[in-house]
């Protein structure tokens, strides 16, 4: 009796779920509409080392694999703001902790019409311990920048995915 009740409940839930309008975002795999749309986005050059890192991460996530987009339908313009600030003073008035913040303002432009389809921001930050070794501190700052570039690229691509899905 219990088993049949659980089975009936599961069938009712499946029927309700199929009628709610949910559909897979990446339906069709690499040949699907979303994958084709993401692959048709050309990422404009971005200034600085942090720009190189973010642009490379974006191209990886958009499926370009380092190659130029052959027939772009969209252009992604990105402006970055990279800040490194000292926090936490130690007893000898030296900085014991830093915070690195990477913010991006980006626009998705339809190349055919020139219309801005998306104008948004994304960002992330990381804490860095300042240690007695200057080399170790610089290495930690660079690692933080590399990680932040990946996180910002993930957030941008997630928002691009939503925008292209709604079109």
- Give the start-to-end residue ranges of the domains of the chain: 2-166
Return the pLDDT at 22: 54
Question: Residue 106's pLDDT is what?
Answer: 97
How much is the pLDDT for 160? Answer: 95
pTM to 2 decimals? 0.80
Q: What is the pLDDT of residue 95?
A: 80
For residue 160, the surrounding DSSP H or E stretch is helix 134-166
CATH class of the domain whose range is 2-166: alpha beta
- Cα separation, 63 vs 32, in Å, equals 13
pLDDT number for residue 69? 74
* pLDDT one digit per residue (tens) for the chain, 167 residues: 567 777 777 777 766 666 666 555 555 555 566 778 888 899 999 999 999 999 999 999 998 766 777 789 999 999 999 999 988 777 777 788 889 999 999 999 999 999 999 999 999 999 888 888 889 989 999 999 999 999 999 999 999 999 988 87
C-alpha to C-alpha distances, 105 to 82, 89, 102, nearest whole angstrom: 12, 32, 10
Instruction: Quote the pLDDT of residue 26.
Output: 57
User: How far is the C-alpha of 116 from the C-alpha of 75, rounded, in Å?
Assistant: 10
């Amino acid at each position: 009796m219990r088993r049949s009740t659980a089975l009936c409940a599961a069938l009712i839930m499946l029927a309700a779920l199929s009628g709610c309008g949910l559909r897979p975002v990446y339906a069709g795999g690499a040949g699907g509409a979303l994958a084709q749309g993401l692959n048709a986005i050309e990422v404009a050059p971005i200034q600085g080392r942090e720009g190189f890192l973010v642009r490379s991460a974006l191209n990886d996530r958009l499926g370009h694999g380092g190659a130029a987009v052959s027939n772009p339908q969209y252009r992604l313009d990105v402006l970055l703001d990279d800040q490194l600030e000292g926090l936490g003073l130690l007893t000898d008035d030296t900085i014991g902790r830093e915070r690195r913040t990477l913010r991006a303002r980006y626009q998705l432009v339809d190349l055919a019409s020139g219309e801005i389809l998306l104008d948004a921001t994304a960002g992330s930050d990381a804490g860095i311990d300042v240690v007695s070794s200057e080399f170790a501190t610089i290495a930690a700052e660079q690692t933080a920048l590399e990680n932040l570039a990946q996180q910002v690229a993930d957030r941008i691509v997630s928002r691009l995915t939503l925008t292209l899905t709604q079109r």
